[in-house]
Amino acid sequence: MKNNQTKYPQSIGIIIDGNRRWASERGLSVMKGHKFGYDKLKEVLRWAREFGISTVYIYAFSTENWIRKKEEVAYLMKLFLRTFGQGAGALIKEKARIRFVGQIGRFSPAIRMVIKKLEKATANFFGINFIICLSYGGRAEILEAVKKVSSEKTKEEISGLTEEQFSQFLWTAGLPDPQLVIRTSGEIRTSNFLPWQTVYSEWFFPKTYWPDFTKSEFESILEEFSKREIRRGR
């Protein structure tokens, strides 16, 4: 069943979890797990387009992930550089408009450069939005938004600020909130992922590790979403 009757969500978020456990259970290095995990991204992007989804958020690296072992973080930095730099052609071929949200300034100049180039190269693509949350943390995002509001608005303007107006100070300004969020690997927690944007999202927690996540599982989740009654407090 495809999204020809708009029963499927238009915007989704995915917390990619389970790369390390997937690798460990197969006697592989943690780095191999991350490699297979990031290869899965291109597949999921194609699935999303096929089912008529217009915006996909991917939680690729959190603000908390910086405290992992130095070797693992260093490998991830190399993976980001390769994926968004040398491997950018494969992402560009998907015709998705790619945007990065998070504390991008924490990355090396080389990574910041390939991120900027990839965003520019895909700026005129409108088939699907692919939002990569990199060094992202929901609390950090909200705190940064509060600082911006305080510096740009008067006390009178702040007192009358609406939720819609405040959302324009978030890193995701101008983007739709996820209607559905998937977290793979069976862990049932939100991990600081888009707390403002997901207050009315439907959450799914499949037990499958991210590298093993399949198109049939993805479609089953979309089908289940289409059967839910979304009341938003009504």
- In sequence order, what DSSP letters do the residues of 92-119 get, joined into one string? HHTT-EEEEES-GGGS-HHHHHHHHHHH
Would you call 3 a catalytic residue per the annotation? no
State pLDDT tens for residues 145-190.
999 999 999 999 999 999 999 999 999 999 999 999 999 999 999 9
What domains are defined for the chain?
A: 11-139+178-223 (3.40.1180.10)
Confidence at residue 9, expressed as pLDDT on a 0 to 100 scale:
96
Sign of CA dihedral 142, 146, 152, 158: positive
Those residues with Cβ within 8 angstroms of residue 9's Cβ, 6 or more apart along the chain or in another chain: 53, 178, 179, 180, 202, 222, 225
Asked if 148 contacts 167 with a C-beta cutoff of 8 angstroms, the reply is no
Predicted TM-score (pTM) of the model is 0.93
Structure tokens at 120: 């520019």
For residue 74, what are the CA distances in angstroms to 35, 80, 81? 13, 10, 11
Exposure string for 151-187, b = 16+ CB within 10 A, e = fewer = eebeeeeeeeeeeeebbebbbbeebebbbbbbbbbee
Average pLDDT over residues 56-63: 96
The one catalytic residue in 3, 19, 39, 65 is: 65
Active-site annotation holds for 17: yes
Catalytic residue, chosen from 3, 4, 17, 212, is 17
pLDDT (tens digit per residue) in 78-133: 999 998 998 788 788 888 999 999 999 999 999 999 999 999 999 999 889 999 99
